[in-house]
Amino acid sequence: MKLPLLILAAGITTLLVLPALPGADEPPTYTQVKQWIADYKAAHPGRDGKDWDINAKSPEEIASEPDTRRLCSLCGPDQRPVIPELAWEYGGSDHPWRNPQDAALVYCIYTPMAEPSSHWRYDRAAGRVVADVYVLFPEQDPCVGKSAKEHAAKCMGGFGNLEILADTATLNDGEDVGLNLGETATELRLILRDGKRARLALIQ
């Protein structure tokens, strides 16, 4: 089980363009997505709630379940949404995201890529993944205007929840793209509203 260490650092500038869902003319609204999440949670009560977790679904399950596919598509290519109302941490004592009412509705995190990008890379020599995270609907972010360190502690809720983000940044241990990330440390960087990136956490 990885234990996170919170570290704050200055970032660099980047730009984000939020995607529309496949077949849609415009991105969904905050209100629409909030309702989709509530409906999904109500419709998937199995395994004491673990069936909520869209990122634990297999590719076959995602492909065959339109509601799961819609939620998994919220964040665009090479990304996955982490939805606090639905997300789980596994290992030791499995638990859902703690205090989701304090968090943003959806966090988008970059996932393993065969070739590095400005948002995700694997440093083999250091044994570390570096992955960016951003809030899908920044206008409704309860931690808007706060630093990455404040965001990690107050909205993301600290260690256990941050590990969910780190597990998503190394989704399936990178096996889907030919990597083996099972024993890597994970550095998460939060993309702030001004486009700068700040180190959110180092989990090792």
The larger pLDDT score, comparing residue 74 to residue 4, is at 74
Tokens encoding 139: 């206008």
Give me the residue label for tokens 């083999």: 124
Q: What is the pLDDT of residue 21?
A: 53
Q: So where are the chain's domains?
A: 4-16+26-203
pLDDT at 23 over 80: no
Q: Is 22 exposed, middle or buried (0-12, 13-18, 19+ CB in 10 A)?
A: exposed
Q: Is 1 exposed, middle or buried (0-12, 13-18, 19+ CB in 10 A)?
A: exposed
pLDDT at 13 over 50: no
pLDDT digits (tens, 9 = 90+) for 46-84: 888 899 999 999 999 999 999 999 999 999 999 999 999
> Among 6-15, 60-69, 142-151, 176-185, whose mean pLDDT is lowest?
6-15
* Strand positions, DSSP E, the chain: 4-5, 79-82, 88-89, 95-96, 107-110, 120-123, 128-135, 185-191, 197-203
Q: What is the pTM of this model?
A: 0.86
- Phi and psi at 47, nearest 5°, equal 55, 45
pLDDT digits (tens, 9 = 90+) for 113-149: 999 999 999 999 999 999 999 999 999 999 988 888 8
HSE, side-chain direction, 13 A CA sphere, residue 87:
29
- Convert 153-179 to b/e letters by CB count within 10 Å (16 or more is b): bebbbebbbbbbbbbbbbbbebeeeeb
Angle at 169 (CA atoms; ends 77, 50), nearest 5 degrees: 95
pLDDT at 157 over 70: yes
